[in-house]
Structure 1
Amino acid sequence: MRNQSIRTAVTLAAATSLLALTACTTDPSVTEDPGGSAAASPEATEQEWFDQALYDEQFEQRTAEFEGDPEQPYLQYIAGEMKDTSDLAVEGEQKVCFANASISNPWRQTGWITMNQQLKVLQDSGVISEMETRDAKDNDNTQIADIDYFINEGNCDAFIISPNSTAALTPAVERACDTGKPVVVFDRGVETDCATTFIHPIGGFAWGIDTATFLSERLQEGDKVVALRILPGVDVLEHRWAAAEKIFTENGIEATDYFTGADPTEIKKIISDELATGDVQGVWMDAGDGAVAAIEAFEDAGKDLPVMTGEDEMSFLRKWQETGIDALAPVYSNFQWRTPLLALEKIFKGEEVPAEWVLPQEPIPADELDQWLELNEGMPDGHYAKFGGEDLPGYPEVWQERQMP
């Protein structure tokens, strides 16, 4: 059953079954977005995800000016409402409690390594005493219990939360806010603005706009695109597809979408089945996991390679260079894993932070491919090119060896 392809038109029950089956195997890159992962609620799968105002906002943010040093993109932000944290200022080392959705895919693993190297810097400087982390392993109920454990334990000076899914985690995040301690939400969003700051790259709509525009400019009306999606119910992923679907429809491109669980075998099967019924001119992905498998399916079938969007994962970048396909690598900035800890450093000092901390999110185009491959030479396939940790202790060995804390 795990290899059964599922289109978005399937029943809610079928989509929920897929979530249960993929809960321990994958988790997208990105949220607001992401990213994303596992057990989205039934209500989330029924939600209407297209938001014209948010689409328009992120369309404009793609070309916005960012405050801060471009050499430190993890500290940059788009000017907007700032949060006064003077009442949260404290002295001495503080204990941070981190409720993490998972480290179940390469994007999250890369970020987790980076986050822990940043933690070492802040421990050495006397900002943070320790970071107690609980990993929900892609399960909403587990993460809710993790947050409640931290609250009931009463030993947390601040909370960091990377939500597993959007709607289900909202009440637990609100309970953390009710403690009066700083709460930093990052990666994926929730349906409350109670957090001290919400940190994320521009968002899923920006990803969808960049990628679908790229494909649409290279394809003809009536061409076929296979859209490979990880799973439903996570805001950043749903926003990616909502934007892409809008643009494909406007350009007369036939796009058929499937949930894959980022399973390479499933991806190959989907592509092979589509190629058996006719030509496929394009491949769109809401996360880069399995991008190489998609290309290999065309190679195995002896078909012309498609125009394609993947992600800045090294396996895709290397396959892109090897094959010379016409491609784009969208980015859901992995360096965001540093930002929550750096935000807490500011909050503990009582400094202002953005209420919504929007980080840069710039795709890798063809003319930058060789540059990013050279910068990440020696990194494993599961590494992400724009991870932004080159100045941290342990670079590059810690990332090369994938030393999970």
Structure 2
Amino acid sequence: MEEQMHLSKSLSLGVAAIALLCANSVMAQVADGDTSTMKIGFSNSYSGNSFRQVMNQSFEAIAKQAVADGVIADYGMVSANNNVTEQAGQIQNMILEGYDAIAILAGSDTALNGAVRDACDAGITVVVFAGTVTEDCAYNVNYNWASMGKQEIDFVAGQLGDKGNLLEIRGIAGDSTDKDISDGLHSAAEAYPDLNFVGTVYGQWTSTVAQKEVATVLPTLPDVDAVVTQGGDGYGAAMAFAASGRKMPIIIMGNRQDELAWWKEQKDANGYQTMSLAATPSVSQIAFWTAQQILAGKDVPKKVEVPLLTINGDDLDAWLAATPVGGVANPTYTQDLVVKMIDANKNGDPLPATPAPNQ
């Protein structure tokens, strides 16, 4: 009897330990050090397009709420109009103004190194996001662009039974993000020898440019089963195929409102299936919370990979309803969700999914 009781107690303790381990694996480990007297700044290299403007609005919304909640004392925002000399000067001003952390969307991976080093030497936490600097004192919050290409290829292969002809729409020639996405596409396609790239155009991440370039190349191509993209180009590609009279291929969308609206129309009319994925302007909120958590004492890796926003057919209606005409799907990143991203990077776990609106 005593042996059975001992075994029962051991099993109970084991179950409790497993339950605690499971709970800790899903609960965000939020650092609670006092940051209520601290200031967090945002240096944006450019604010001249709608994506960057929404990025600024997203940062300000979360920072303003953090001030109201007593999480931080103040915040500040500056934009450099694509001038790295001006951006470096603005960062130097933030150093003099006593900011405790600065989130930076850098206009160059090297030209800001001096200003970044000066900030670090002054004891300021620097978080560079949606890009990089080569100064290694900075934390880096960024996407894995190659994984975007892999997601697209794996989806297309699944829909086409691992074989078919692909048209690739790239971004801007010479851009590092364009290269990373394209390299990811072609690397992933090596696993599917019957997927063939039959054409490539540069759409410059712009619907009208993509439409023109696809329309120009289509007469030279065989049947196209799928179009792999980089964002902002899906609707233009769809319009080019519609005008050509060809069968509509699978076109990967990029979370713009016009892309989501067109996808819904086709889905409702004939069951059209695709997926949509892209970066989000509100990645600035991830940078904000990463900086705040570092200030609060959390152990944060120097490199934090963040998830692209992926929209599937089940979530399409919710994201479309939440995305303004002319806009792009843009979730709000809470402190809890960002801490889960940080913990996933620390532990080598899958990144948490971004929940659809109202979930």
Please report the TM-score for the alignment, with normalisation by the length of structure 1.
Answer: 0.65
Mapped to 2, the partners of 1:338 and 1:140 lie a distance apart of: 23
- Aligned residue among 219, 225, 238 for 1:281: 225
* 1:317-369 deviations in Å (ceiling 9; x for gaps): 11111123432112435543222322333333334334333334452222332
Q: Which residue number in structure 1 is paired with residue 170 of structure 2?
A: 228
Q: Note if contact 2:54-2:282 (Cα within 8 Å) is conserved in structure 1.
A: no
Mapped to 1, the partners of 2:230 and 2:145 lie a distance apart of: 9
Mapped to 1, the partners of 2:85 and 2:234 lie a distance apart of: 30
Q: Note if contact 1:97-1:159 (Cα within 8 Å) is conserved in structure 2.
A: yes
Q: Note if contact 2:251-2:274 (Cα within 8 Å) is conserved in structure 1.
A: yes
Q: Give yes or no for the alignment of 1:368 onto 2:336.
A: no
- Aligned residue among 345, 348, 355 for 2:302: 355
Q: Note if contact 1:110-1:387 (Cα within 8 Å) is conserved in structure 2.
A: no
Q: Which residue number in structure 2 is paired with residue 254 of structure 1?
A: 197
Q: Note if contact 1:225-1:255 (Cα within 8 Å) is conserved in structure 2.
A: yes
Give 1:381's aligned amino acid. Answer: G
- Aligned residue among 270, 274, 287 for 1:327: 274
Q: Note if contact 1:166-1:233 (Cα within 8 Å) is conserved in structure 2.
A: no
Q: Note if contact 1:212-1:244 (Cα within 8 Å) is conserved in structure 2.
A: yes
Alpha carbons of structure 1 residues 125 and 371: separation in structure 2 relative to 1, 3 Å = closer
Once the two structures are TM-superposed, the CA of residue 243 in structure 1 deviates from its matched residue by 0.7
Q: Note if contact 1:248-1:255 (Cα within 8 Å) is conserved in structure 2.
A: no
Q: Give yes or no for the alignment of 1:382 onto 2:327.
A: yes
Q: Give yes or no for the alignment of 1:294 onto 2:237.
A: yes
Mapped to 1, the partners of 2:217 and 2:262 lie a distance apart of: 21
Matches within 5 A, 1:177-216: 177-195=120-138, 197-201=139-143, 203-216=144-157
Q: Note if contact 1:96-1:160 (Cα within 8 Å) is conserved in structure 2.
A: yes
Gaps of 5+ in 1: 1-64, 70-74, 78-84, 392-405
Question: Which has the higher Rg, Structure 1 or Structure 2?
Answer: 2
Instruction: State the secondary structure of the residue aligned to 1:338.
Output: helix
Alpha carbons of structure 1 residues 67 and 174: separation in structure 2 relative to 1, 3 Å = farther
Instruction: State the secondary structure of the residue aligned to 1:200.
Output: strand
Alpha carbons of structure 1 residues 339 and 247: separation in structure 2 relative to 1, 3 Å = closer
Give 2:187's aligned amino acid. Answer: K
Once the two structures are TM-superposed, the CA of residue 282 in structure 1 deviates from its matched residue by 2.3
Q: How many residues align?
A: 305
- Structure richer in helix, relative to its length: 2
Once the two structures are TM-superposed, the CA of residue 388 in structure 1 deviates from its matched residue by 4.4
Identical counterparts, % of pairs = 23
Q: Which residue number in structure 1 is paired with residue 207 of structure 2?
A: 264
Instruction: State the secondary structure of the residue aligned to 1:253.
Output: strand
Matches within 5 A, 1:17-96: 92-96=36-40
Q: Which residue number in structure 2 is paired with residue 345 of structure 1?
A: 292
Alpha carbons of structure 1 residues 268 and 216: separation in structure 2 relative to 1, 3 Å = same
Once the two structures are TM-superposed, the CA of residue 161 in structure 1 deviates from its matched residue by 0.7
C-alpha root-mean-square deviation of aligned residues, in Å?
3.4
Mapped to 1, the partners of 2:122 and 2:188 lie a distance apart of: 43
Q: Note if contact 1:333-1:387 (Cα within 8 Å) is conserved in structure 2.
A: no
Mapped to 2, the partners of 1:167 and 1:233 lie a distance apart of: 15
Alpha carbons of structure 1 residues 137 and 283: separation in structure 2 relative to 1, 3 Å = farther
Q: Which residue number in structure 2 is paired with residue 103 of structure 1?
A: 47
Q: Note if contact 1:76-1:359 (Cα within 8 Å) is conserved in structure 2.
A: no
Instruction: State the secondary structure of the residue aligned to 2:180.
Output: helix
Alpha carbons of structure 1 residues 134 and 387: separation in structure 2 relative to 1, 3 Å = same
* 1:195-245 deviations in Å (ceiling 9; x for gaps): 2x32234x11211110122223445656141323145333x4432221112
